[in-house]
Amino acid sequence: MSASPAAAEDLIVLGKIYSVHGVRGEVKVYSFTDPIDNLLDYPRWTLRRDGDSRQVELASGRLQGKFLVVKIKGLDDREEARSFAGFDVCVPRSQLPSLKDGEFYWYQLQGLKVIDLQGQLLGQIDHLLETGANDVMVVRPCAGSLDDRERLLPYTGQCVQSIDLQAAEMRVDWDADF
C-alpha cells in the first residue's frame, strides 16, 4: 500500500469502498462494472477521496451478493480498514478493454448534449442509471437547452439515433413534451 498519488494518467471511477467486512481488514466495495466482479480484474487500484490519493494492490476479492469483499495487501486491521470507507476505486483509462464499434462506456456519454430529431437541445447527460430493463440517461438542462426540465431517457436503440463523441452530441428520437 502506497500513499503516493497516482501517475498523471486519466483515472476512471469503477467502484467505491463503503464499509469494512469482518475483523481482518477486508472492505466492502460497490462495483460499477458489469458484471460486478469485473472490478477484480484490475490488480492495482488508485483510491481517491477529498484530494487524498493512494495506490493499493489487491490480495484477493470475491463477490458476495451485490457487492465485493476485497482484501488489500498490507491492510490487516479492521479499524484501519474502516478509514478506507468513502474512497472511490479508480483505474487508468488505458487499462479498460477496447470496445466494438457502436459500444460506449458510460463515462464517454456523460456530458454529451442531447438533441432531438427536430434539432432542439434537450440538455446534457449528467449520469446514467441501471434499471434492469435498460439503462436510463439523466438529461439535465444546460446553456441553450429548450427548457429547464430534467428528463429521463432510455438508453435504447429506439431512442438513441446517433452518438458523435467528437462533436459531444447524441441525437435522440424523443418527444420534448414527454
Give the per-residue pLDDT at 8: 42
Positive or negative torsion for Cα 85, 94, 102, 140 = positive
* Surface-to-core class of residue 62, CB atoms within 10 Å of its CB (0-12 exposed, 13-18 middle, 19+ buried): exposed
Give the per-residue pLDDT at 124: 98
| Closest of 81, 85, 88, 67 to residue 22, by C-alpha | 81
Residue 117: beta bridge partners? none
Q: Rounded CA gap, 95 and 10, in Å?
A: 10
Residue-wise over 135-150: b if at least 16 C-beta within 10 A, else e? Answer: bbbbbbbeeebbeeee
pTM: 0.77
Low-confidence stretches of the chain (pLDDT < 70) are: 1-9
Pick the CATH number of 106-172 from 3.30.1300.10, 2.30.30.240, 3.40.50.2020, 3.30.590.20: 2.30.30.240
Give the per-residue pLDDT at 4: 42
Ramachandran quadrant class, 2 (left: phi over 0; alpha: psi -120 to 50; beta: rest): beta
Residue pointed to by grid coordinates 491492510: 75
Domain ranges of the chain: 11-95, 106-172
Give the per-residue pLDDT at 9: 62
Which CATH fold topology does 11-95 show? Elongation Factor Tu (Ef-tu); domain 3 (2.40.30)
